[in-house]
């Protein structure tokens, strides 16, 4: 196991490029196996969650080769309908294989994803959608067992905005008999990316990015070549890293529109932001002003930036109220308090009284974005911070320490005791 040792206090300066979007890549890699030919995927981030989904697909008989940021996926020989428990329980997005297996083999046995540090994360909407498409579903021994000779298109209303449900049902219905209408669909950029990818394979999908998506089932999907969109959550995390250190950073290879809410809230906090087509310059004051934020489905403020933003607000001038509406994800606040933050959490809301300075301390990462929040806090803290549990960070950020060090941070990756 490794840990970060961070010497805080350096202002970040310079330029850094954003990697491909983890949450788009995980969906597109699974969807690529819908084709009976090879797909070539570019700008695939080199992250642990991507290695995991590739392993799961190989276990199902899909050929997957991953070199650098290019991945070849060939679903022509997919043969097993049983997703491997040991691998699936590591990562919730593996549940997308249920949609793939039902579409390709008419049968799926996929372990139900466990809870994680974000609280309970059921897949009841996914299951309801599969049943609406005609699948017979049994839940036993922690497995979802599903069967359908061929899925049949239908109209499905998703109870609340759900990225995973929208993705899983787009994957399942692309090869269904007839047309599927997803109502109250999620509108995240990753959904639009998946629809563009599927259409490049010959799927017939309209309306992605709105809350009504129409999928006309086709008989087969062909191989394609596709480049994944930039990771808006990594882009937002790097913007907040610049802000928390009072730095001056240009973030490139990203889509400013995808981080609109973060831009507006950072500007309200007194951070100067200049935008061009594919990059953003963040020029930050010594201390930000306190800003109230509420997380919401896209295009609202993303729940995955809530933790990094609370780190920023912990050194702001004034008190900010941060309301988390998507998940239960404030466990990291205990760790920020060890660094001197003054935060109270009640009923899904953090009341953050800004302090002039944080101080370095030994802290523990509980999940991916909590890890990012602790790294950002350590950059601004006086003294040394030791961050354990960094395997969580490796799941969804490509070389975060190297990128921050290239901007002047001082992060060492060492063996944990």
CA distances (Å), 296 to each of 14, 75, 186, 314, 350, in order? 31, 35, 11, 21, 15
Rule CB under 6 A: say whether 142 interacts with ligand EPZ.
no
Rule CB under 6 A: say whether 23 interacts with ligand EPZ.
yes
Q: Restricting to residues 91-120, which ones interact with ligand EPZ according to CB under 6 A?
A: 92-93
| Beta carbon nearer to ligand EPZ, 43 or 162 | 162
Rule CB under 6 A: say whether 19 interacts with ligand EPZ.
no
Q: How far is residue 41's CA from residue 33's CA, in Å, rounded to a whole number? A: 12
Q: How far is residue 208's CA from residue 193's CA, in Å, rounded to a whole number? A: 9
Rule CB under 6 A: say whether 306 interacts with ligand EPZ.
no
Q: How far is residue 291's CA from residue 318's CA, in Å, rounded to a whole number? A: 8
Please give the distance of CA 54 from its chain centroid, rounded to a whole number.
17
State phi, psi for 289 to the nearest 5 degrees.
Answer: -90, 155
- Min separation Cβ 135 and ligand EPZ, Å: 15
Q: Restricting to residues 48-77, which ones interact with ligand EPZ according to CB under 6 A?
A: none
Catalytic residue, chosen from 116, 137, 384, 399, is 116
Rule CB under 6 A: say whether 330 interacts with ligand EPZ.
no
Among 189, 246, 360, 396, binds ligand EPZ (CB under 6 A): 396
Other CB atoms within 10 A of residue 389 CB = 20
Among 73, 368, 376, 387, binds ligand EPZ (CB under 6 A): 368
Rule CB under 6 A: say whether 124 interacts with ligand EPZ.
yes
Q: How far is residue 373's CA from residue 365's CA, in Å, rounded to a whole number? A: 9
Rule CB under 6 A: say whether 371 interacts with ligand EPZ.
no
Query: Token pair for residue 231?
Result: 């990771």
Among 122, 139, 272, 319, binds ligand EPZ (CB under 6 A): 122
Q: How far is residue 255's CA from residue 356's CA, in Å, rounded to a whole number? A: 32
Question: What is the residue-wise DSSP string for 192-238?
Answer: HHHHHHHHHTT-EEE-BTBSEEEEE--S-----EEEPPB-HHHHHHH
Rule CB under 6 A: say whether 340 interacts with ligand EPZ.
no
Which spans of this chain sit near ligand EPZ (rule: CB under 6 A)?
22-23, 26, 92-93, 121-126, 160, 162-165, 186, 303-304, 326-327, 368-369, 396
Q: Which residues are catalytic?
A: 116
């Amino acid at each position: 196991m490794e840990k970060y040792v961070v010497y805080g206090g350096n202002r970040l300066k310079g330029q850094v490029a954003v990697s491909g979007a983890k949450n788009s890549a995980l969906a597109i890699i699974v969807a690529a196996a819908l084709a009976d030919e090879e797909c070539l995927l570019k700008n695939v981030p080199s992250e642990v969650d991507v290695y995991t989904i590739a392993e799961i697909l190989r276990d199902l008989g899909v050929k997957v080769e991953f070199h650098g940021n290019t991945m070849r996926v060939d679903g022509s020989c997919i043969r097993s309908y049983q997703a491997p428990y040991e691998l699936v329980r590591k990562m919730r997005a593996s549940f997308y294989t249920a949609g793939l297996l039902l579409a390709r083999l008419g049968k799926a046995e996929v372990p139900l994803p466990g809870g994680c540090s974000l609280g309970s994360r059921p897949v009841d909407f996914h299951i309801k959608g599969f049943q609406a498409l005609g699948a017979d579903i049994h839940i036993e021994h922690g497995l979802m067992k599903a069967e359908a000779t061929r899925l049949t298109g239908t109209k499905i209303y998703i109870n609340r905005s759900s990225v995973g449900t929208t993705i899983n049902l787009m994957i399942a219905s692309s090869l269904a008999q007839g047309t599927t209408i997803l109502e109250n669909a999620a509108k995240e950029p990753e959904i639009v990316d998946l629809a563009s990818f599927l259409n490049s394979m010959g799927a017939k999908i309209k309306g992605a990015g709105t809350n009504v998506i129409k999928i006309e089932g086709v008989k087969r999907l062909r191989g394609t070549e596709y480049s994944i969109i930039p990771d808006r959550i990594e882009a937002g995390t790097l913007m907040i890293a610049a802000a928390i250190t009072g730095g001056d950073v240009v973030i490139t290879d990203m889509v400013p529109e995808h981080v609109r809410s973060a831009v507006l809230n950072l500007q309200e906090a007194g951070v100067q932001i200049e935008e061009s087509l594919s990059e953003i310059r963040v020029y930050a004051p010594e201390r930000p002003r306190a800003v109230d934020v509420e997380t919401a489905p896209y295009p609202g403020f993303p729940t995955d930036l809530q933790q990094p933003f609370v780190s920023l607000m912990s050194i702001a001038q004034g008190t900010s109220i941060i309301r988390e509406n998507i998940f239960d994800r404030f466990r990291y606040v205990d760790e920020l308090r060890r660094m001197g933050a003054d935060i109270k959490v009640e009923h899904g809301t953090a009341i953050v009284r800004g302090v002039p300075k944080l101080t370095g301390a030994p802290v523990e990462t509980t999940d991916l974005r909590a890890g990012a929040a602790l790294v950002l806090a350590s950059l601004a803290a006086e003294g040394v911070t030791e961050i354990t549990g960094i395997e969580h960070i490796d799941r969804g950020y490509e070389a975060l320490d190297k990128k921050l060090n290239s901007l002047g941070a001082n992060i060492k990756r060492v063996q944990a005791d």
